[in-house]
Amino acid sequence: MAETFTTKIYEVAKHIPKGKVATYKQIAALAGNPKAYRAVGNAMKNNPDMRIVPCHRVVGEDGKMHGYSAGKGISSKIQRLREEGVEVEQGIVDLKKYKWT
C-alpha cells in the first residue's frame, strides 16, 4: 500500500524534538513537496494523536503561530511550547534559536 502525503507529513513531524519548532514549509519539503505547506497545516489540524505527532511544534515561516485546534487554541500552543523551553514573544518564536535542523 502506498504511503500518503499526509502519512509522510506525520512521519516527519513526529521527529521534531522538545525545545524546537519546524515550519509548515520545512515539513512540506521534508515530506517531499515544498509547496504543499497548506497540506501540512491541514494535516496538523486533523492530527489523530497529538501524543505521537507534536503539532504544537509547527509554526509559520515567520515564526508566528498560525492556529492550533487543541485546548484553547493558540494560547494552548504557546503554553505547550513554553513548557518545553521555547520562548514565545508576542506570538512569535525566534527561528534562529529554536528552528529544528
pLDDT of 49: 92
pLDDT of residue 78: 95
pLDDT of residue 67: 79
Under a CB-based contact definition with an 8 Å cutoff, are residues 24 and 60 in contact? yes
Residue type at position 27: I
CA 96 to chain CA centroid, nearest Å: 16
What is the pLDDT at residue 70? 76
Give every residue of the chain whose pLDDT is below 70, as ranges.
Answer: 1-2
Nearest in space to 39 (alpha carbons), one of 21, 12, 62: 12
The domain limits of the chain are: 5-95
| Helices and strands counted in the chain (H then E) | 5, 4
What pLDDT was estimated at residue 2? 55
5-95: CATH number? 1.10.10.10
Marked catalytic residue, from 16, 22, 30, 55: 55
The three cell numbers of residue 71 are 485546548
pLDDT confidence of residue 66: 87
Q: Respond yes or no: is residue 55 known to be catalytic.
A: yes
Contact 51, 89 (CB under 8 A): no
